[in-house]
Structure 1
């Protein structure tokens, strides 16, 4: 009886605190069946994962305009159930954050804001995942051991300034993202520096009725060594539950044409049919030519798939 009474007492104490918190289980399963061809190899049929994930996120109102929040995100291969990212379970994100009128401070692991401010925003047809992802955008994707400050949104502008501690075994990194969202116009700037590597990009996107047009320009450099330019244009036309997408990207290398596939091109055409706000069926054709003549890295795929968010 004493044990039962103790449990009841603890539950009574914990209940008010739990009521002030909100924890959400969420995720995405995104899978395609594809006809793929690599270089001069024979075409093959594959069941392909496209950025599937499982996550927990939560927020607690601390009063006085102050909130605490967290996120844990696990990447998984929907075609075989394996974890992505090797042995790291929360391989996509694990962070805690305090936010208020001053903005927000976040600690932990997550993807660079510079990427989301530029390349990800332009890849509208499948959220820059799977074999149709942007293969040309350059980044070191420093995600671990980070501290970032997020500004409040003012006049459509918001920004993130992040630093990653090398902790003696990895390079230190700086990541900057600036976003502008006001009406039909959306713009972004991203900057990333990891040791002698740096990249910066600008992005624009405009909504014009049923049409959406976007693009980015990126400069990628290694100090005293190599550099290249990357560009991408995207368009979407929406009618009813249907979306028609077209993406065209390319690189122009300077200094050394072999740097990150200098001179490469990528084309993607896609169609989405939204069965609901959470579920879509879709198809796409994507082709990446890295060099001439054809190399083993050249790739093209014809795909159909299903994506479900929960």
Structure 2
């Protein structure tokens, strides 16, 4: 459901009234649940979790038809903690998204604080948990979600193919490569089949080294059952390499019930052998078109000195076992 949340700016439209070609959409997510964590260094934790299945948010999307098939939009999206009312993303006013975009026949060009192509591929295609609950793929896979100072171009879809290219300026005086981000993805969709390839590279503060991640994803719908497969090759700024492999499934059990599960293996190719395996199971029941209740269980087995934690959509977690029970409302 969270993959729909990212693009759920079509809900609750409020007309500006001045021009029929302009509109303002107010949208958001209110998500809270009980979170139980075991296996952390500080001991067991029981808490009221914020943004367990989907991070809580309040957003505004403006749209204006400029004519000739060209549309200008902007998105300003704030993240908040529903359990305390505090702002997320280190207190940034619009720390989730802040962008302006021009869309036409040639595609979409946007600038601002935006989701990365790698994250969108992981969230929208690869992960049956849609990077939420205890089964969140970002517990293991790279967790870079959004980047500042980006320019992004998304092509129109042509015979099932589309591409997404993003460049993030490091904005370091005298060194244009320092803190730079480069990301891209290509997607092919044909009926029940989706195949996607995503890549990203991040330079360090001196541009003396960079990390990179390359991920190949396949998804296929067999009626009410969808299979997910993803494999990522990673290299950090120190040159250490690792591989992440995920096998997942989601099933629409009835009109309101959905079951999903995944297994993820992290393989460290260095001599340290910091390997890990995550297994997770989740369930959601739709009370209405906008509201669902959910439950999830996730467990990570770390090897050697690996220190992966079971988190949620808005929390990195503290233990190796997590249990979630909550409710989510999209407005």
Higher mean Cα deviation, 245-254 or 288-297?
288-297
1:203-242, aligned counterparts within 5 Å? 203-222=217-236, 225-240=239-254, 241-242=256-257
Unaligned runs of 5+ in 1: 1-14
**Residue matched to 2:329:** 308
Task: Give the C-alpha shift of residue 122 in structure 1.
Answer: 2.4
Q: Does 1:89 align with 2:93?
A: yes
**Residue matched to 2:35:** 34
Give distance in 2, aligned partners of 1:101 and 1:173: 27
1:174-193, aligned counterparts within 5 Å? 174-193=182-201
**Which entry has the higher C-alpha Rg, 1 or 2?**
1
Task: Give the C-alpha shift of residue 116 in structure 1.
Answer: 1.1
Q: Deviations over 1:149-195 (max 9, x none)?
A: 11011111111111011111751111101122221111211110112
Give distance in 2, aligned partners of 1:266 and 1:296: 9
Q: Deviations over 1:181-229 (max 9, x none)?
A: 2211112111101121111101111110121110210001136621000
1:110-129, aligned counterparts within 5 Å? 110-125=114-129, 127-129=130-132
Higher mean Cα deviation, 293-302 or 53-62?
293-302
Counterpart of 2:276 (choices 248, 264, 270) is 264
Count of matched residue pairs: 292
| 1:118–1:202 CA contact under 8 A, matched in 2 | no
* 3-state SS of 1:248 partner: strand
1:19-168, aligned counterparts within 5 Å? 19-39=20-40, 41-50=42-51, 51-125=55-129, 127-134=130-137, 135-141=139-145, 143-168=147-172
Q: Deviations over 1:225-265 (max 9, x none)?
A: 2100001111012121111111111111113536xxx3111
Give distance in 2, aligned partners of 1:286 and 1:144: 31
Q: Alignment RMSD, CA only?
A: 2.1
Q: Say if 1:223 and 1:45 are closer, same or farther in 2 by CA, change over 3 A.
A: closer
Q: Say if 1:136 and 1:16 are closer, same or farther in 2 by CA, change over 3 A.
A: closer
When normalised by structure 2's length, the TM-score is: 0.82
Q: Say if 1:138 and 1:110 are closer, same or farther in 2 by CA, change over 3 A.
A: same
Moved segments of 4+, more than 6 Å: 293-296
| 1:140–1:194 CA contact under 8 A, matched in 2 | no
| 2:244–2:265 CA contact under 8 A, matched in 1 | yes
| 2:134–2:297 CA contact under 8 A, matched in 1 | no
Give distance in 1, aligned partners of 2:241 and 2:250: 31
| 1:243–1:273 CA contact under 8 A, matched in 2 | yes
| 2:221–2:227 CA contact under 8 A, matched in 1 | yes
Higher mean Cα deviation, 180-189 or 64-73?
180-189
**Residue matched to 1:199:** 213
Q: Say if 1:278 and 1:257 are closer, same or farther in 2 by CA, change over 3 A.
A: farther
| 1:142–1:164 CA contact under 8 A, matched in 2 | no
Q: Say if 1:16 and 1:77 are closer, same or farther in 2 by CA, change over 3 A.
A: closer
Higher relative contact order (CA 8 A, sep 6+): 2
